[in-house]
Amino acid sequence: MTATAWNQLPEVRSPAGRTAAAVLAEGPRRQALPGFEPVYRDIVDYIVRCTHRIWEQKDIGLCRTHYADSCVMHTLNGPNCGVENVVQGTLSALSAFADRQAIAEDVIWSEDAPGLFYSSHRITSRSTHEGVDATYGAGMGKAQMATTVADCVVRDNLIVEEWLFRDNARAALQMGHSPRAVAAAQADADRLGDPARHAWRQAWIDRVRAHETRGPDADHPASGPARLLDAAWRADLYGEAARQVSPSIEVSWPTGRYGWGRGYWAGCLLQMRAHLHRFAMTIDHWAARPLPYGDVAVALRWSACGVHAGTGPWGAPTGREILVAGSSHYVLRNGRIVRDQTIFDELAVLRQVHGGLGAQAPSGGVR
């Protein structure tokens, strides 16, 4: 149940295909935003503008008026809790990649209850590694351009919960690093210290396996893509799913995967599934918004897990249970997917493959 239908308020526009001046233009409010700063015209403007103010204008302290004290930021590397950790994380990132341009591609939002907003913000950020980064060390002037999806729950001008998915393996490659080497080093560090700090991962896996979410209603635009993910990943009916997308679907998946056509789309889904046995998945949230010319943008946030017992780009099977969480943004035309942009952090997946984040190998070896 939502307070605003997915296609209400067409004046609250996607940033897709708009000039920078149009996206950042100030003006009167276009949407009821109780408790939000007056500068924000609507929920899309809030997301895009606060990102601009914090990351580009470098007013990092605004995190304190835009994140709840008890906020939780979920990533596949672990949760980040509390606003001061958000401030510190932002400072660290900008000290290494100062010239970050966060170019908004879309904000697919819903109002899940009056004044309670959910946004799925797709950004492709360009930045140069000039400072010292905790993972990559000293900057060598290499550029990176990674796509991120940030899903936020927002109320009263505050982000109370966030899920952050970044194409970190692609970023590592762009900077000349081996994702395998980076992930292995992270995994080595993960095995030191208190293993209880990785408990969040097992809790997330347990929720996926419990499969308690219900999925979108049939009359919501997200129901179609959700049904296709179901057909592919739960029923292993990749042809059935592929026949329902455009024959010329454009596909962008993490770590440089890019192609056209049903065969490529099915191949991406099948590759993931082939890695992971005893596969389970959930659709955790969905939203849809109108795009120009009658197209529809759909965001699906999903979680998946399975035992790494299949071969593929992640290397030899390890028998470890792996958690994958991500967001898929689709463009629908006449109800059919013509574009799929899926993001998950494949570097964090590799970190688990190498035994990090609490991922244990079975004592009896891979079965």
**Binder among 8, 202, 264, 360 for other proteins (CB under 8 A):** 264
Is 78 an interacting residue with respect to other proteins (CB under 8 A)? no
CA torsion sign for 123, 347, 232, 265 is positive
Is 33 an interacting residue with respect to other proteins (CB under 8 A)? no
Distance from C-alpha of 203 to C-alpha of 201, rounded to nearest angstrom: 5
Q: Please name the residues in contact with 84: beta carbons below 8 A apart, sequence gap of 6 or more.
A: none
Q: In what order do the strands lie in the sheet with 258-260?
A: 258-260, 250-252, 336-344, 321-333, 296-308, 276-290
Buried b (16+ CB within 10 A) or exposed e, 86-100: bbebbeebbebbeeb
Give the per-residue contact string, 339-358, with other proteins (x = CB under 8 A; - = no).
Answer: -------x---x--------
Is 266 an interacting residue with respect to other proteins (CB under 8 A)? yes
Count residues contacting other proteins (CB under 8 A)? 56
Is 316 an interacting residue with respect to other proteins (CB under 8 A)? no
Is 336 an interacting residue with respect to other proteins (CB under 8 A)? yes
Residue number, 72 or 172, with CB nearest to other proteins: 172
Calculate the alpha carbon distances from 114 to 34, 38, 40, 246 in Å. Answer: 9, 18, 17, 36
**Binder among 40, 314, 330, 344 for other proteins (CB under 8 A):** 314
Residue number, 105 or 111, with CB nearest to other proteins: 105
Is 145 an interacting residue with respect to other proteins (CB under 8 A)? yes
Q: Please name the residues in contact with 108: beta carbons below 8 A apart, sequence gap of 6 or more.
A: 14, 119, 120, 122, 287, 288, 289, 297, 298, 299, 329
Distance between alpha carbon 193 and the CA centroid of its chain, in Å? 28
Is 240 an interacting residue with respect to other proteins (CB under 8 A)? no
Contact 144, 174 (CB under 8 A): yes
**Binder among 75, 80, 124, 244 for other proteins (CB under 8 A):** 124
**Binder among 21, 196, 218, 316 for other proteins (CB under 8 A):** 21
Residue number, 114 or 256, with CB nearest to other proteins: 256
| Residue ranges in contact with other proteins by CB under 8 A | 15-21, 23, 101, 103-105, 124, 126, 145, 169-170, 173-174, 179-180, 239, 242, 246-248, 250, 253-264, 266-268, 270-271, 292-294, 313-315, 333-334, 336, 338, 346, 350
